[in-house]
Amino acid sequence: MACRQLGKITKMLSALAPFICLAGIVVLQGQEYKKSAQKLNRADYLSQEQEQARLIKFQQQTPSLGFDNLKANWTYLNFVQYFGDENARKTIGYKLVPDYFETISQIDPHFTQAHLRLSIANSMYAGDPEKTIALMAQVLQSVDPESEQAAMLWTSKGLDQLLFLGDKQAAIESYKMAAQWAALTNGDRSNNITIKDLDTALASTTEIELKEAQVRAWSSVLVHIKDNQRKREIIEKIGDLKQEILALEQSAEAKATR
């Protein structure tokens, strides 16, 4: 009899576990919101970020027990709150965005809308387009090509490949995949999602123009970066690109005078 009761209790706890976890997350989020509503100093924001990092780790390690969508939604809401804390982000930056992106992509790779927003946040605000591209590649392996906005994932990946890596061929392949996926749901939308005959259009783009676009892209990211090491890396990257542009211009001038 005692064993039977124990079995019932165990089943009950298993069924309630996701909601208990979510309730804990809600409480923690409520505490974070109260803190973020106050005007805090840098040390306070850093302490708050450590708590948020622990919460992300908790979300990564807690089993979903079949409630992947629910858990991913709560993680995404937590990210929205984190990203929207303007005072904190202006003070200490967007360091946790890649962690949110990775966590949500692992919990629910089908959460397309979240991935699209996180990709922009991770590339433009956290300054980590390389990781964005890698995470998008993982997500795209699991997404249904016919699902809503799925083709936009390829478009977003192609944009990062073009503007940040300067990889024209990779961008072309991504945009071609976007067109193929878009055609599965609505053939008329493919031209709106991708650039028509993108390979031809990019073929007419000079190497100097592409590198200038990269300089503008990385410069727009730089204003959001608070981590000194990452800031130095981006400044060095921009400097290298400018040197390459200068070398290409000098080469073009030398050829023109021959």
pLDDT score for 109: 92
CA angle 59, 61, 62 (to 5 degrees): 65
Q: What is the pLDDT of residues 81-125, one digit of tens each?
A: 999 999 999 999 999 999 999 999 999 999 999 999 999 999 999
Using an 8 Å Cβ cutoff, are 215 and 242 in contact? yes
pLDDT score for 257: 81
Instruction: With a cut of 90, say whether residue 32 has pLDDT above it.
Output: no
Interatomic CA distance for residues 145 and 137, integer angstroms: 13
Cβ-Cβ contacts under 8 Å for 52 (sequence gap 6 or more): 32, 78, 82, 96
Question: What percent helix, strand, coil does the chain show, rounded to 5?
Answer: 80, 0, 20
pLDDT score for 164: 95
Provide the CATH number for the domain around residue 149: 1.25.40
In angstroms, what is the C-alpha Rg of the chain?
A: 23
Interatomic CA distance for residues 226 and 218, integer angstroms: 14
Q: What is the pLDDT of residues 194-242, one digit of tens each?
A: 445 566 667 678 899 999 999 999 999 999 999 999 999 999 999 999 9
pLDDT score for 134: 97
**What pTM does this model have?**
0.78
Mean pLDDT of 46-60: 91
pLDDT score for 61: 83
Taking Cα atoms as reference points, which of 216, 205, 206 lies closest to residue 164?
216
Interatomic CA distance for residues 56 and 78, integer angstroms: 9
pLDDT score for 77: 94
pLDDT category at 156 given cuts 50, 70, 90 is: very high
Phi and psi torsions of 41, nearest 5°: -95, 180
Q: Count structural domains, the chain.
A: 1
Interatomic CA distance for residues 96 and 40, integer angstroms: 18
Mean pLDDT of 154-182: 91
pLDDT score for 11: 45
Please give the torsion angle defined by the CA atoms of residues 248, 218, 176 and 155, in that order, rounded to the nearest 10 degrees.
-160
Boundaries of domain holding 60? 2-256
